Structure 1
Amino acid sequence: MTSLQPTTHDDEQFLDTLTIGRRIRQLRLERGMTVESLGSQIGRAASQISVIENGKRELKLVELQKLARALGTSLDGLLEPEPLSRRDELEISLERAQRGPLYQSLDLPPLAIRKGLSDAAIETILRLHEELEHLHTQRAATPEEARRANTELRAEQRHRDNYYEDLEHTAAELLRTIGHTGGPLSQRSTAELSSHLGFTLHYVPDLPITTRSITDHHNHRIYLPTKQTGTDPRSALLQAIASFVLGQPEPHDFGDLLRQRVETNYLAGALLVPETSAVAFLTRAKTARELSVEDLRDHFAVGYETAAHRFTNLATRHLDVPVHFLKVHSSGVISKAYQNDDVQFPTDPLGSVEGQRVCRWWSARQVFDVEDRLSPYQQFTDKPAGTYWCTSSIQSSANGDFSVSVGTQFAHVKWFRGRDTKRRLTSRCPDPTCCREPGVEASEHWSGHAWPSARLNSSLLAAMPDGSTSGIDKVEVYEFLDRHAGSHPTHS
């Protein structure tokens, strides 16, 4: 018999919603109540009761208490972890499967769960779904292993609002040891911190190309490159210090490697932008309705990406503002992503975000079309999950141009500078007709008559965006051909 699969934190929360809904429905039917009568007792429309029973809305504690009283049970009775029946278990499993990334990636219509759908039919569908998941996992090579580990780590970050309290305390203690009382951390103070920990600094021209620094624990030396083009000279040193302070061992797998990288970068960021002074600065800015990543960057003399990361670390915990973060290559492919504001990132069938292509109407891609790359770029975007506001900036590196974006739901934009922007676009993604499929006329004219040569992505975590074996964006290819062909501007 098919059973429920192991879940992530988000799955458990979703499963509870479905289980509570089924329990409410079962109790209502046992008491001979209609959705109308139950709704009238708690002050809700019958349609809202149906939404609750189908597990499509999370309930507040007050609502749960009202429902428990109306159904003649206790609050604990509604929150039992196990479904009431085998049928309920099957329906919950099927609902979860349909809302998961694998099922959604198959572009199948939703399957209505009706009484006429037998238990045997549901079990067959679930077995097929499990086999598809197994095949995806079995085919995954080493890069996909890293992407799966990254997906799990991102879920953990969301669960804790991307805030690591223990690392904040460690950073504060380190800063106290060198007498740093707040504000930007100077390069001299950074060197003093390494000296306090017993290390001498050595800048060398021949550091291996695959390393940012090397720490010699035997001789208490930290080796850094003589040339650090395009990077904050404090960054590599602070990451080396952070790795030493955290006592990180040799990673056993990609999960260890990624977790260590996140913790090291977090601690380095917490040293560059100390929590106490940063929260005071951001709180004043929120009170004035002038929150700005640019101001945080300038006040602490750090790069834009560091400021954006620190904003996501502190905004939800201290300012009660849910946010999302995106780092996107100029090709539109995601390099890094984080969210706790329910924005829907593109994912592959295993739920991985890295390597997927962002909707071309999002701020993270629109910013590349703006000539003025020095001024902040802000935009409202109407998305399937709601309206979001984002601020984006382009950062250049040896690996190309990337946009770094921080965004939030419309309800929270009132605290940000740039909320008066007139830019507003609409995104229908993941609907492929939004921006992933060329128009009918362009397809009819160019399909079979264009053969672009792909620039393959060699990044460890990169995946070919869904719908394209080579990773080529046909929309951009056809638009390019239209601009340069000249002879068929209307595809006649």
Structure 2
Amino acid sequence: MELRPPDSLGDQNTFDSLTIGRRIRQLRTARRMTLDDVGIAIGRAASQVSVVENGKRELKLGELQRFARALDVSVDQLLSPEPPTGRAALEIALERTQRAPLYASLGLPQLAVRKSLSDGAIEAILGLYRELERVHSERAATPEEARRANTELRKSMRRRNNYFAELEDVARGLLAAVGHTGGPLSQRVASDLGTHLGFALHYVPDLPGSTRSVTDLNNGRIYVPVGASADSDPRSVVLQALASHVLRHEEPTNYADFLDQRVQTNYLAAALLIPEQSAVEFLTRAKAARELSVEDLRDAFGVSYETAAHRFTNLSTQHLGIPVHFLKVHESGTISKAYENDSVTLPTDALGAVEGQVVCRFWSARRVFDVADRFSPYHQYTDKPAGTYWCTSRIQSSPRGQFSVSVGTQFAQAKFFRGRDTENRFSSTCPDPSCCRTPPSSLAAKWDKHSWPSARLNSSLHAAMPTGAFPGVDSTEVFEFLERHAPTAG
């Protein structure tokens, strides 16, 4: 059986609701039809037609067909990517600008696009915005490059519900090749996978500190540390190294490419540790019994809580029909990793990046640090601007401090989870500053002019991203290591 790397994990094509809306408006006015006329023709209220024309709702194929019939055009004409007029192109660009995270971060009011707003005024506004974007873009080779790459990667993952069918197929083929029929993956089977792929495992005490493993492609060796750290699964280290080989990864050309490869290797390693068929059968039974639990998935497959939480997000929407969100948050409140497909509003910066942003004090990801019982899982309902969510959180320790790992879902889905009967409930209005960022007026009045904190700056705040194809890896140290351990000629 030939194992092939997956197709591109990039964006999937989607219809542009703004362009379609403007085309519908242009066709309607050209035919001297009112909103009511079109609404009657498609069986919808005039207000709904207006929402569509303003690009605020995506249309399904059946709705597109009804609009096409009402306007006496083909569906292909409605889906044309070109704006119907030059004016429409300007209006679409302005609307898209105002919906962007950078514009939202400025705190400016939304500018209504009316006929009285001249083309020149719109062009001036767009020009100012492009200059602002240029200033932000020039901060490449700083941590902002990583934030932009993370933002695009998270959007791509959301569109596929964090489920990569092609990687599941690769995992299934590998497990079949070594005779693994289901259930937890032992360290012996992980070693068998290495042998099957032509690699011998070598446990060494002097692995370069900037690496988790080193693969010698010339001599078919994978070097891993003798003693795994407390937050590391030795099987994961081996499987991730094998995954890069199986997926035929080449040297990354930029940071986005590096992140994309890391997502693929982590996903494939998790799919081997928690095979899809066994996990789906396990989770389906738990859902039927209304006893879904990340802890049970962890225990059933002998993995870390974080690996189980990640794997749950891979399979939950695809196989259980439950949209979810995932958060890994440092004890300082900053986000280390995040994913959502359940419409929860994550904190973002001007570029739309989530990593490094501070989580609301009232979310379970923060509240769990105040709970004395660190052995039991913590459950909580949180009333948020997008609705009420149920979350389960746990704390794990690492050399970099303590982190909470949380999985959450919308209130309607909580009925399938153990811990749904929790009485813990909080309200959050973040990103409204008055929620938890603005101090109470009584404290502010007393201390605002009578205190001077000395901030502890993140060491990477002003630093450039590590250079090299593999960010942060000391290539000289790696090559010297390989030279020391290379087999000598017989």
TM-score by length of 2: 0.86
* Pair 1:168 & 2:168 matched: yes
Task: Give distance in 2, aligned partners of 1:33 and 1:461.
Answer: 57
- Matched-pair contact (CA < 8 Å) for 1:354–1:462: no
* More displaced 10-residue stretch of structure 1: 227-236 or 408-417: 408-417
Counterpart of 2:210, as a letter, is T
- Matched-pair contact (CA < 8 Å) for 2:101–2:349: yes
By how many angstroms is 1:121 displaced?
Answer: 0.6
Gaps of 5+ in 1: 1-7, 464-492
Task: Give distance in 2, aligned partners of 1:352 and 1:134.
Answer: 17
By how many angstroms is 1:165 displaced?
Answer: 2.2
In structure 2, the residue matched to 1:479 is none
* Pair 1:245 & 2:246 matched: yes
Task: Give distance in 1, aligned partners of 2:51 and 2:428.
Answer: 26
May I ask how many residue pairs the two structures share in their alignment?
Answer: 454
- Matched-pair contact (CA < 8 Å) for 1:355–1:462: no
* More displaced 10-residue stretch of structure 1: 262-271 or 289-298: 289-298
1:393-472 alignment, distance < 5 Å: 393-458=394-459
- Matched-pair contact (CA < 8 Å) for 2:362–2:427: yes
> Are the structure 2 counterparts of residues 262 and 219 from structure 1 closer, same or farther at C-alpha, using a change threshold of 3 Å?
same
Task: Give distance in 2, aligned partners of 1:451 and 1:460.
Answer: 21
By how many angstroms is 1:222 displaced?
Answer: 2.4
- Matched-pair contact (CA < 8 Å) for 2:147–2:351: no
Task: Give distance in 1, aligned partners of 2:107 and 2:420.
Answer: 36
In structure 1, the residue matched to 2:310 is 309
1:316-355 alignment, distance < 5 Å: 316-355=317-356
By how many angstroms is 1:96 displaced?
Answer: 0.9
Task: Give distance in 2, aligned partners of 1:412 and 1:153.
Answer: 26
- Matched-pair contact (CA < 8 Å) for 1:326–1:338: yes
By how many angstroms is 1:405 displaced?
Answer: 1.4
By how many angstroms is 1:218 displaced?
Answer: 3.3
By how many angstroms is 1:461 displaced?
Answer: 11
* Pair 1:225 & 2:219 matched: no
In structure 2, the residue matched to 1:53 is 53
By how many angstroms is 1:181 displaced?
Answer: 0.4
* More displaced 10-residue stretch of structure 1: 326-335 or 238-247: 238-247
- Matched-pair contact (CA < 8 Å) for 1:327–1:337: yes
In structure 1, the residue matched to 2:259 is 258
In structure 2, the residue matched to 1:489 is none
> Are the structure 2 counterparts of residues 33 and 451 from structure 1 closer, same or farther at C-alpha, using a change threshold of 3 Å?
same
Counterpart of 2:295, as a letter, is E
In structure 1, the residue matched to 2:480 is none
Task: Give distance in 2, aligned partners of 1:460 and 1:208.
Answer: 25
> Are the structure 2 counterparts of residues 113 and 276 from structure 1 closer, same or farther at C-alpha, using a change threshold of 3 Å?
same
Task: Give distance in 1, aligned partners of 2:453 and 2:40.
Answer: 62
Counterpart of 1:45, as a letter, is A
Runs of 4+ more than 4 Å apart: 459-463
By how many angstroms is 1:122 displaced?
Answer: 0.8
- Matched-pair contact (CA < 8 Å) for 2:331–2:404: yes
In structure 1, the residue matched to 2:185 is 185
- SS state of the match for residue 179, structure 2? coil
1:46-125 alignment, distance < 5 Å: 46-125=46-125
By how many angstroms is 1:268 displaced?
Answer: 1.0
Counterpart of 1:393, as a letter, is R
- Matched-pair contact (CA < 8 Å) for 2:184–2:274: yes
* Pair 1:157 & 2:175 matched: no
Deviation per residue, 1:343-374 (Å, 9 max, x gap): 22222212211111122222221221222222
Counterpart of 2:80, as a letter, is E
Task: Give distance in 2, aligned partners of 1:140 and 1:220.
Answer: 37
* More displaced 10-residue stretch of structure 1: 341-350 or 65-74: 65-74
* More displaced 10-residue stretch of structure 1: 441-450 or 105-114: 441-450
Deviation per residue, 1:56-114 (Å, 9 max, x gap): 12223333333333333333333222222122111111111111100000111111222
Deviation per residue, 1:124-168 (Å, 9 max, x gap): 101101100000111344322222222222222222222222222
- SS state of the match for residue 206, structure 1? coil
> Are the structure 2 counterparts of residues 306 and 439 from structure 1 closer, same or farther at C-alpha, using a change threshold of 3 Å?
same
By how many angstroms is 1:177 displaced?
Answer: 2.0
Indicate the RMSD between aligned Cα atoms, in angstroms.
2.4
Deviation per residue, 1:448-483 (Å, 9 max, x gap): 3222222222369999xxxxxxxxxxxxxxxxxxxx
In structure 2, the residue matched to 1:29 is 29
* Pair 1:377 & 2:378 matched: yes
Task: Give distance in 2, aligned partners of 1:35 and 1:461.
Answer: 53
Counterpart of 1:87, as a letter, is R
* More displaced 10-residue stretch of structure 1: 409-418 or 324-333: 409-418
Task: Give distance in 2, aligned partners of 1:421 and 1:462.
Answer: 43
> Are the structure 2 counterparts of residues 376 and 148 from structure 1 closer, same or farther at C-alpha, using a change threshold of 3 Å?
same
- Matched-pair contact (CA < 8 Å) for 2:98–2:110: yes
Deviation per residue, 1:385-418 (Å, 9 max, x gap): 3332222211111111111112223343333333
> Are the structure 2 counterparts of residues 66 and 415 from structure 1 closer, same or farther at C-alpha, using a change threshold of 3 Å?
farther
* Pair 1:279 & 2:271 matched: no
Task: Give distance in 1, aligned partners of 2:101 and 2:376.
Answer: 37
- Matched-pair contact (CA < 8 Å) for 1:146–1:461: no
By how many angstroms is 1:9 displaced?
Answer: 5.0
Task: Give distance in 1, aligned partners of 2:37 and 2:426.
Answer: 43
Task: Give distance in 2, aligned partners of 1:193 and 1:256.
Answer: 26
Task: Give distance in 1, aligned partners of 2:428 and 2:442.
Answer: 21
- SS state of the match for residue 454, structure 2? coil
- % identical aligned pairs: 67
Task: Give distance in 2, aligned partners of 1:307 and 1:263.
Answer: 17
Task: Give distance in 2, aligned partners of 1:323 and 1:300.
Answer: 21
- Matched-pair contact (CA < 8 Å) for 2:204–2:223: yes
- SS state of the match for residue 139, structure 1? coil
- Matched-pair contact (CA < 8 Å) for 2:322–2:413: yes
* Pair 1:201 & 2:201 matched: yes
Task: Give distance in 1, aligned partners of 2:289 and 2:76.
Answer: 44
- Matched-pair contact (CA < 8 Å) for 1:147–1:461: no
Relative contact order (C-alpha < 8 Å, sep 6+): which is higher? 2
Gaps of 5+ in 2: 1-9, 465-490
1:32-43 alignment, distance < 5 Å: 32-43=32-43
In structure 2, the residue matched to 1:129 is 129
* More displaced 10-residue stretch of structure 1: 65-74 or 388-397: 65-74
- Matched-pair contact (CA < 8 Å) for 2:139–2:145: no
- SS state of the match for residue 215, structure 1? strand
Counterpart of 1:433, as a letter, is S
Counterpart of 1:402, as a letter, is F
Counterpart of 1:31, as a letter, is R
> Are the structure 2 counterparts of residues 460 and 207 from structure 1 closer, same or farther at C-alpha, using a change threshold of 3 Å?
farther
Deviation per residue, 1:239-270 (Å, 9 max, x gap): 22222323333323212221221111111111
Task: Give distance in 1, aligned partners of 2:338 and 2:99.
Answer: 21
